[in-house]
Amino acid sequence: MAHCFLQVALDTPLNSCFDYRWSCEPGQEPLVGQLVLVPFARREVVGLIVAVKQDTEVPLDKLKDAIAVRSQLAPLPERWIALAQFAADYYQRPLGEVALPGLPKNLRVPKTVALDRALKKLAKDDSAHDPTPSSMPVLNPAQQEAANSIGGAQGFTPLLLYGVTGSGKTEVYLQACAQVLGRDRDAQILILVPEINLTPQLEGNIRARFPGVMLATLHSSLSEGERMLHWLAAHEGRARIVLGTRLAILSSLPNLKLIVIDEEHDPSYKQQEGLRYSARDLAVWRAHQLGIPIVLGSATPSLETWHHAQSGRYRKLELRERAVRDAVLPTVKLVDMERDRPKDGLTGSLIAALRGRLDRGEQSLLFLNRRGYAPVICCDACGWISNCTRCTAFMVLHRPEHRLRCHHCSLELRIPRHCPTCGNVDLQPLGRGTQRIEEGLAAMFPEARILRIDADSTRLKGSAQEAFDSVHRGEVDILVGTQMVAKGHDFKKLTLVGILNPDTALFSQDYRASERLFAQLMQVAGRAGRAGAASEVLVQTRYASHPLYGAVVRHDYDRFAASLLEERRQAGLPPFMYQALLRAEAPELATAIAFLEAARDSLVFDAVMINDPIPMTMTRVHNVDRAQLLVESASRPALQAFLREWVEILRAMKSRVRWSLEVDPLDI
Ligand SMILES: [Zn+2]
Ligand SMILES: [Zn+2]
């Protein structure tokens, strides 16, 4: 029996590749891309074979034998490994930490029972594969042109599908998909959406349109068994359409021919822990690697994407009108809260508008991005307020649950009967969350059917879908919700949107806050009037003359984006500058800052600017203090070269401070 040596990537934070010995006949060696079970640190773990060699530099007495090669599974394609390697290099993480966590859990356990069962189940599936769509609704000329441009694109072609809310972007995607599937009998298409709660609607549309095509879905609320089946269906090329959230960008798709990213501006495409990748950015790289078209769809594109479209690097396709005949964009009105003083959080104008909708049997949506009853309770007698003892944050009052909750560390307390400092029994809620708005509405409109949709009301699996279904069935008159209700949903009877209290974001320190607020307002406003009825949006504000609101009233993304881009250019901010953020956490702020100062002084580099460490805006979370250090460069290659060296130095510092590095950070 001869030997070969396998270089195996493992999911470990430091060194990610290790050599193992494997006994086999010559010519029978395992393949790159196969999974293998190996001993590691007194455990048995599954790794990815990244090289098969005849020699190794590891001394033979230190070398361990691999235990089993998962030969029943087709190897992961080399192009997929190259994608993982690119992500690892770009985000400064070991390959194994990128490649392995994205695989279904059941593939990474020592036993193969689940894998074998799933493979057997898939092999039995002999459903017909007929890409013919069930129907092809007639498109308006702009939609048709967009669908043809996408469906007919050859080679690497990044396209921005810039379409106002309700302009029928989904139909454009579906018809472009039909063209690609009809032309190439093996083609696979990847469609990414920002939220799990948006997939059921789109999933239903795709299934109805392509009844003969296998569809796989990949998102975090699937069971492990489902996830394994769907992942395998994609990996084996059986699933022709894969619909998923950001994690699906790392799925194995041997015949990928088109990528669609819906709502490309959405921040949830960015993973915020572990490997902090942008699924949108990786998707563009993947399309480039494979030489295929990629569509980025949005009514309010990210400034990065808009900038590429303006400079001609991305091709811009425009849908300026709503798809449904006679449907026009809602009229947006600003309600000046200085003149029209609110009662229970609602101005007279908004109350009158709600009354009108109730009388006509139409639906209304009130949008407030703050869950709970009130963001804080306080004592008028001594000034005590409900601070979290572990965070730089307030404990939020959740009245129906009789609890104070910290939304950052999940600390929960019963509502105190009296002030902990002075004993005063008259504690007051300050401000309003969705629960309090719901309560006020119920008192004001006792005959109305009111439904609240937020993270609290939809904690149980399936309850969000149930809630949205009841809105679609017309069983709700007034819907109160957070950002969960802002995206994607097509509520046919909705003719009024009220936006409560958006002002705080106007004065945020985060330079992206206004871009995000604008996108959010346009999104939520876009829920109204999609089926054709005249509709209006009322924005309650204390800053009615702010230019951002002016742009919302005019539905003028173009000019707003142009002015923001000009501001960013002058201030030296992305997309004109590339950034990375080093964060440190320690029980004492001084420790975190000291680590960052040492990091700052550890390397000097041409064309890269290292700023001074600062505490994060929310400094303390769960008894840990947090600080950050921003690194900037006008050159992406310079920043990447710097980061490669820097990460090695930081690892060698062996500090006990917990640190993480984020490339292209979204929140600063
Ligand atoms: Zn008090
Ligand atoms: Zn807390």
Question: For residues 56 and 172, what is the distance between their CA atoms, to the nearest angstrom?
Answer: 53
Question: For residues 584 and 313, what is the distance between their CA atoms, to the nearest angstrom?
Answer: 37
**Nearby residues for ligand 2 (ion, Cβ within 5 Å):** 388, 390-391, 406, 408-409, 411
Report CA(667)–ligand 2 centroid distance (Å). Answer: 20
Report CA(656)–ligand 2 centroid distance (Å). Answer: 23
pLDDT of res. 183? 94
Helical residues (DSSP H) of 276-322, grouped into ranges: 279-290, 303-310
For residue 122, give both structure tokens. 């898939």
Mean residue pLDDT of the chain comes to 94
Helical residues (DSSP H) of 542-662, grouped into ranges: 547-553, 557-571, 589-600, 636-652
Report CA(588)–ligand 2 centroid distance (Å). Answer: 16
pLDDT of res. 340? 96
pLDDT of res. 286? 98
pLDDT tens string 470-483: 999 999 999 999 98
The answer for residues whose C-beta is within 8 angstroms of residue 129's C-beta and 6 or more apart is: 212, 213, 214, 240
Domains and their CATH numbers in the chain: 2-76 (3.40.1440), 141-319 (3.40.50.300), 331-373+432-566 (3.40.50.300), 578-663 (3.30.70.260)
Report CA(618)–ligand 2 centroid distance (Å). Answer: 11
pLDDT of res. 198? 67
Report CA(427)–ligand 1 centroid distance (Å). Answer: 8
Question: For residues 660 and 364, what is the distance between their CA atoms, to the nearest angstrom?
Answer: 43
pLDDT of res. 249? 97
Find the distance separating the first CA and the last CA of the chain, reported in whole Å. Answer: 58
Q: Which ligand is nearest to the CA of 378?
A: 1
The stretches in the chain having pLDDT less than 50 are none
What burial class does residue 123 get, using C-beta atoms within 10 Å of its C-beta: 0-12 exposed, 13-18 middle, 19+ buried?
A: exposed
The answer for residues whose C-beta is within 8 angstroms of residue 435's C-beta and 6 or more apart is: 371, 372, 373, 398, 399, 400, 452, 456
Report CA(371)–ligand 2 centroid distance (Å). Answer: 16
Report CA(407)–ligand 2 centroid distance (Å). Answer: 7
Q: Which ligand is nearest to the CA of 405?
A: 2
pLDDT of res. 534? 84
Phi, psi of 477 (to 5 degrees): -95, -45
Residue pointed to by tokens 């078209």:
293
Report CA(405)–ligand 1 centroid distance (Å). Answer: 19
β-bridge pairing 412-414 and 403-405 = antiparallel
